[in-house]
Amino acid sequence: MAATAASSSLVRRAAAAASSRLLHTRAFASGGGGGEKAKRVLVPVATGTEPIEAATTADVLNRAGARVTVATADPPGDDGLVVEAAYGVKLVADARVTDLEGKAFDLIVLPGGMPGSVNLRDCKALEKMVKNHAENGGLYGAICAAPAATLAYWGMLKGLKATCYPSFMEKFTAEVIPVNSRVVVDRNAVTSQGPGTAIEFALALVERLYGKEKMEEVAGPLYVCPQHGIEYTIEELNSVEWKCSGTPQVLVPVANGSEEMEAINLIDVLRRAGANVTVASVEENLQIVTRRHKFNLIADMMLDEATEMQFDLIVMPGGLQGAQKFANTKKLVDLLKKQAESNKPFGAICASPAHVLEPHGLLKGKKATAFPPMSHLLTDQSACEHRVVVDGNLITSRAPGTATEFSLAIVEKLLGRDKAISIAKELIFM
């Protein structure tokens, strides 16, 4: 396949698919696998892996119907399959890379992050596996630091056009043809720039594995950003200052069935910005099985412990199953009501505005948005077309494809526009 800077056309097609509303509910509920033979995908992770890139890649490919295996490249240790990714995000892998030697995959895709990319590079079993895969004509990809620090280091981008995180471009070996684009496809190699390009990257991989029609079907319910490279926007009404003394204290509850892209975006972006984010499980243990059953998260504490703390903001990810659990967790609902009564900020994305905030009266007199197929559940639907809506101390958003904007809007309200723009540029979101 000829080399292409795939991002802009891919986003236009994805935006068109989103506007059509076709197959959205079915694809969102089932992962869009249909009756096609599942492709086997390996997503290796290691200490320091960028969690947004790993989770987004696994989630989007799973939505297409792929059988995704998340495998740790870390040496065996006391923590078993637990991987400490960047920004304190703890993931539980499905397997070890060393146990998968000889297994066949249709795609091997490397998330970035530092030192995650170097830790992947130094895994000899992974290097051997990826090289054998490529020699047999297999599709492979990498994002952020990994194209330069891992693939190029292994000599796997010779003579190919490729991109990576901008500050790593100079680390490409002389045999690589560097291209400053959000996503680059050249033959069987797909590369991309960073966390803010992760959805575009994953959709490009879906298109290579399954074709354009499947890519558009998967893209639809994500509600991807229709245009990149410009400043994000917020629909704000009844503007008030979100006050916090010192470092913002943020509670992110999680449940079995929470949407991983939304949860990890909140955790990653807010911690990048310097907020103290507490991830609290509303289940009976700390390990959470996310909506796509591919990224098992380990929370920082149980909700009972978090109820003894004070937070400047409480913000919930979506995912229908997770939202329903939130709605039925009295301690969390009581926390949200206390937050609202104290005029302190709270918010939700995707299914949670409709299934948590609305039924408990927390949207009364407020404008909000939600996952479009669920927006009819909101009493006031007048702001539902917006990607992020702030009404006083309430913030809501639509879907996984709006999660980065949602997180950046929170950074802006807590720490200012300049800080949010700085983080957006760091993410390569704009």
The predicted model gives 402-430 an average pLDDT of 96
Dihedral angle computed from the Cα positions of residues 214, 216, 222 and 227, in that order, rounded to the nearest 10 degrees: 150
Q: State the amino acid at position 161 in one-letter form.
A: K
User: Do the strands 95-96 and 67-72 form a parallel or antiparallel pair, or are they unpaired?
Assistant: parallel
C-alpha–C-alpha distance, residues 22 and 152, integer Å: 40
List, for residues 293-338, the tens digit of each pLDDT value. Answer: 567 899 999 999 999 999 999 999 999 999 999 999 999 999 999 9
The predicted model gives 197-211 an average pLDDT of 97
Q: State the amino acid at position 266 in one-letter form.
A: L
Confidence (pLDDT) at 14: 45
C-alpha–C-alpha distance, residues 337 and 326, integer Å: 13
Q: What does pLDDT average to over the chain?
A: 91
Q: Is the peptide bond before 115 cis (omega within 30 degrees of 0)?
A: yes
Confidence (pLDDT) at 24: 29
Give catalytic status of residue 350 as yes or no. yes
Could you tell me the pTM of the whole model? Answer: 0.91
Q: How confident is the model at residue 195 (pLDDT cuts 50, 70, 90)?
A: very high
List, for residues 89-102, the tens digit of each pLDDT value. Answer: 999 999 999 999 98
Catalytic residue among 123, 144, 225, 350: 350
Confidence (pLDDT) at 27: 29
Helix (H) or strand (E) holding 54: helix 51-63
Q: Summarize the chain as % helix, strand, coil (round to 5).
A: 40, 20, 40
